[in-house]
Structure 1
Amino acid sequence: MARIARLTYYPVKGCAGTSVPATEVTPAGLAHDRVFQVVAPDGDFRSQRRYPVLASVRPRVLGEQLALSAPGQEDLVVDIRRDGPRHPGSTFSWEGEGIHQGAEAAEWFSDLLKTPSVLIHVAPDHERVTSGETPGTAAFADGHALLVASESSLDGLNARILERGGEPVPMDRFRPNVVISGWTEPHTEDEVRAMTAGTAEFGYAKQCVRCTVPMVDQETGAKAGPEPIRTLATYRRHPDGGVTFGMKAAVLRPGQVSAGDEVIVHSWAGPSPSTAAAEPPLTATASRPAESV
């Protein structure tokens, strides 16, 4: 039986996450997920790809305040501005505006990143349509509302890394929102097309093509490559380029989810196209678990 093993939201895009025992699922994903974003004066987004130190920032949403802490920085608590002066923002697939969170927050991130930066919050009139097999919406996530990964996928990857003489990596390298336990076959999440957990329902959007962020130590904010990308490249290459780990999903029905909730899959697809060429076909029984898992 598959269950939710962990739920994590990331208040500030690119910064550390907060794991919770239960949370609301909004149309844009888990409550508070990537509702803040650090951007350049022109709105270009800051990410761990260029600024890995962002991983060391520990943001906390405290009601109507945001608390920020990072090694070498004085802690900062600011009131969340949900409306007011606008500032440009962007992701890989979206450009628009967010709510400027004030000079204190801008100065704090500018000091941390050693370059002029601004913190913005999702605007009340934020509109965004995400791509993929199931369309949806998102706040400031790169492309989609949720990233779903399974413990078996990480176990399979780490077994391969160990075989190559490397050190296993923790799940936080992939920054998932929903971690699922109970599936024995790695990358089962790639085959899910619709599933429910708690009172929420999710639809498959696409496989997650990974950038360099999984090579950043999420505790220290330091680059720690070449794993896991080096090993993923040996068996998880996507036909369109890059390597994949995890599934991006849209929210079909908002609701409540908790760690321990049963994951019920309502529809499945065939084997992952990124693994079909590299691994022998699975039997129908092995590749398609029961409808309720």
Structure 2
Amino acid sequence: MARIARLTYYPVKSCAGIDVPSAEVTETGLAHDRVFQVITPDGDILTQRPHPIMATVRPRVLGDRLALSAPGREDVVIAIRRDGPRRPVSMLTWHGEGVRQDPRADEWFSDLLGRPAELIGVTPDHDRVSGGEFPGQAAFGDAHALLLASESSLDSLNERIAAAQGEPVPMDRFRPNIVISGWAEPHREDEARELEVGTAKLGYAERCVRCTVPMVDQETGAKAGPEPIRTLATYRRDPGGGVVFGMKAAVLRPGQVAVGDEVIVHSWAGPSPSTAAAEPPFTATARRPAESV
């Protein structure tokens, strides 16, 4: 029987996550998930891809306050501004606005990253339609409301990494919101189309094409490649380019979820061709991954 093994939300995009025993599922994903984002003064997003040190930032939502901490730096606590002065923001193909937060947070992130940075939050009228097989809404995640991954998928990957004399990787390298246990076969999440978790209902959007973030040690904020991308490239190739791990989902019905809840799949697709063991060697492509960092 498949069950929820872990729930994680990431208050600030590309920063550390918070594991919780239960969570509210909103139309844009887990409550508080990626509702803040760090941007340049021009409105471009700043992520772990060029700034892996962001993984060491530990954000905490404390009611109407947001606390930020990182090793060797003084904590800052700000009042969350739900609305107010806005800044334009651009991410992938979406262009919208965010609410400027406290200048102290801007200064804190600017010092951490060594470049001008600003912290913004979602606006009360935030509207960002996500695509895929089941469309939905998304906050500041790269493309969709939720990222799901199974323990069996990670176990299979780590067996392959170990066979190649590499070091196994933890699940946090992939930054999922929901980790599922109980599926004997790896990558069953790729085949689930409509599923219930707790009182929420989710719909498959697409498989997650991975960028370089899984090669960042999420504890130290240091690049620790080439795994797991090197091994994934040997058997988890996306036809459009890149490698895949995990499934991105839309919220079809908000609700409540908790660790231990049964995962009930109401409809399945056929087996994914990406599970085939023999695939061509990895080559770089021009396709830009749309990954929830």
Q: TM-score range by the shorter chain?
A: over 0.9
Does 2:216 match 1:216? Answer: yes
Amino acid at match of 1:108: W
User: SS state of the match for residue 75, structure 1?
Assistant: strand
- Give the distance between the partners of 2:275 and 2:192, measured in 1 at CA: 15
Hey, what does 2:72 align to over in structure 1? Answer: 72
Amino acid at match of 1:145: A
**Are the counterparts in 1 of residues 69 and 75 from structure 2 also a CA contact under 8 Å?**
yes
Instruction: Tell me by how many angstroms 1:275 deviates.
Output: 2.5
Amino acid at match of 2:181: S
Instruction: Tell me by how many angstroms 1:273 deviates.
Output: 3.1
Amino acid at match of 1:223: K
Amino acid at match of 1:263: V
- Give the distance between the partners of 1:139 and 1:239, measured in 2 at CA: 27
- Give the distance between the partners of 1:244 and 1:258, measured in 2 at CA: 26
- Give the distance between the partners of 1:229 and 1:93, measured in 2 at CA: 25
Unmatched 5+ residue regions in structure 1? Answer: 280-293
Hey, what does 2:125 align to over in structure 1? Answer: 125
Structure 1, residues 65-109: CA drift from partner, whole Å, max 9, x if none?
Answer: 000000121100000000000012222231111000021010000
Does 2:193 match 1:193? Answer: yes
- Give the distance between the partners of 1:95 and 1:50, measured in 2 at CA: 21
Once the two structures are superposed, the pairs formed by residues 240-255 of structure 1 within 5 Å of their partners are 240-255=240-255
Instruction: Tell me by how many angstroms 1:274 deviates.
Output: 2.1
User: SS state of the match for residue 158, structure 2?
Assistant: helix
RMSD between aligned alpha carbons?
0.9
**Residue range with higher mean Cα deviation, 181-190 or 95-104:** 95-104
**Are the counterparts in 1 of residues 79 and 102 from structure 2 also a CA contact under 8 Å?**
no
Once the two structures are superposed, the pairs formed by residues 1-293 of structure 1 within 5 Å of their partners are 1-276=1-276, 278=278
Identity percentage of aligned residues: 74
Amino acid at match of 2:216: V
- Give the distance between the partners of 1:69 and 1:26, measured in 2 at CA: 26
The runs of at least 4 consecutive aligned structure 1 residues that moved more than 3 Å come to: 276-279
User: SS state of the match for residue 135, structure 2?
Assistant: coil
Structure 1, residues 99-143: CA drift from partner, whole Å, max 9, x if none?
Answer: 000210100000000000000000011111101000000100000
- Give the distance between the partners of 2:186 and 2:66, measured in 1 at CA: 37
**Are the counterparts in 2 of residues 238 and 273 from structure 1 also a CA contact under 8 Å?**
no
Amino acid at match of 2:21: P
User: SS state of the match for residue 154, structure 2?
Assistant: helix
- Give the distance between the partners of 2:274 and 2:32, measured in 1 at CA: 32
Unmatched 5+ residue regions in structure 2? Answer: 280-293
**Are the counterparts in 1 of residues 4 and 260 from structure 2 also a CA contact under 8 Å?**
yes
- Give the distance between the partners of 1:93 and 1:11, measured in 2 at CA: 22
Say if 1:17 and 1:275 are closer, same or farther in 2 by CA, change over 3 A. same
Instruction: Tell me by how many angstroms 1:267 deviates.
Output: 0.1
**Are the counterparts in 2 of residues 11 and 61 from structure 1 also a CA contact under 8 Å?**
yes
**Are the counterparts in 1 of residues 234 and 277 from structure 2 also a CA contact under 8 Å?**
no
- Give the distance between the partners of 2:73 and 2:45, measured in 1 at CA: 21
